[in-house]
């Protein structure tokens, strides 16, 4: 059975409990009093399919797929305005990150959502050597929607790249290995163990 189906079986009809158990800082969702300050404070507020206040209500109303398949939480810029202003002290930024992580784990996140793709590229990039390779990250971003669009984007971004090169804030040498941790293996072992431990906690088999 897929992880998604397992979770549907386990929490049938109680999405709030599912979020409380499996989403980072998810136990805070019940504290929301629906004032809407978060939604009104978000720099990308108008672009959310469902702004944070609505997401919290939808979780309590068992709108499981509507929440997890939504592009909403991928609009979070991590500006922390909502956290600073929430009268109930909800760690909203972290809950949004947690919902994003959870929707990916379940395989429900929208496949073409650009931030979902970029955030995965970022993680893969840093996990490889322990440090971000900005050049490879940039190129993988340009080409994340296929070769043809990648060439188009790369051309559009050409001047920015040249400016970065000119001011020595980028180097082609990063293509050949580049910066990284000496003990990248140790770091990867830490990450692997952390993932295993977390999977046990949220009832996800390692497979």
Partner 1 sequence: MAKKSYSFYPGCSSQKAASSSNYQVSVDTMCKELDIELNEIPDWNCCSASIGYAGGGELPRLALSARNMALSEQAHAGQDIVATCAACWLATKETQERLHTNPDLLAETNTALAEAGLKLNNDKNIRHMVEVLIEDIGYEELGSHVKKPLEGLKIAGYVGCQTNRPFGIDGESFENPKYLDKMIETVGAEACDSYEKKVSCCGGALAFSEPEKSQALIKDIIESAYDNGADMIVTPCPVCQMNTEVYQDQINAKYGTKFKMPVVYYSTLLSVAYGKSAKEAALDGQIIRAKQLEDIAGK
111 touching partner 1, by CB under 8 A: no
Query: d(Cα 170, Cα 133) in Å, to the nearest integer?
Result: 10
Query: d(Cα 40, Cα 38) in Å, to the nearest integer?
Result: 5
Query: d(Cα 119, Cα 97) in Å, to the nearest integer?
Result: 11
| Number of residues engaging partner 1 in binding (CB under 8 A) | 68
CB of 174 to partner 1, least distance (A): 8
* 148, 168, 176, 207: residue in contact with partner 1 (rule CB under 8 A): 168
39 touching partner 1, by CB under 8 A: no
From the list 102, 114, 118, 104, the residue with the least C-alpha distance to 21 is 102
- Asked whether the beta carbons of 158 and 142 are under 8 A apart, the reply is no
Give the residues lining the site for partner 1 (CB under 8 A). 24, 43-44, 47, 75, 77-81, 83-85, 91, 93, 97-98, 100-101, 104-105, 109, 114-120, 122-124, 126-127, 130-132, 134, 138, 141, 159-160, 163-164, 166-171, 173-174, 179, 181-183, 186-187, 189-195, 197-198, 201
């Amino acid at each position: 059975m897929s992880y998604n189906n397992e979770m549907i079986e386990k929490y049938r009809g109680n999405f709030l409990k599912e979020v409380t158990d499996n989403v980072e800082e998810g136990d805070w969702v019940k504290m929301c009093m629906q004032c809407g300050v978060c939604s009104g404070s978000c720099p990308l507020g108008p672009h959310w399919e469902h702004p944070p206040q609505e997401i919290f209500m939808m979780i309590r109303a068992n709108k499981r797929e509507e929440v997890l398949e939504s592009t909403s939480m991928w609009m979070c810029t991590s500006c922390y305005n909502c956290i600073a202003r929430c009268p109930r002290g909800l760690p909203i930024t972290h809950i949004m990150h947690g919902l994003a992580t959870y929707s990916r784990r379940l395989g429900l996140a929208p496949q073409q959502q650009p931030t979902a793709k970029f955030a995965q590229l970022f993680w893969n990039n840093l996990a490889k050597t322990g440090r971000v390779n900005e050049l490879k990250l940039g190129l993988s971003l340009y080409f994340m929607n296929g070769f043809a669009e990648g060439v188009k984007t790369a051309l559009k971004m050409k001047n920015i790249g040249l400016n970065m090169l000119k001011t020595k804030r980028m180097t082609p040498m990063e293509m050949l290995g580049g910066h990284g941790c000496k003990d990248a293996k140790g770091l990867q072992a830490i990450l692997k163990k952390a993932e295993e431990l977390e999977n046990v906690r949220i009832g996800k088999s390692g497979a």
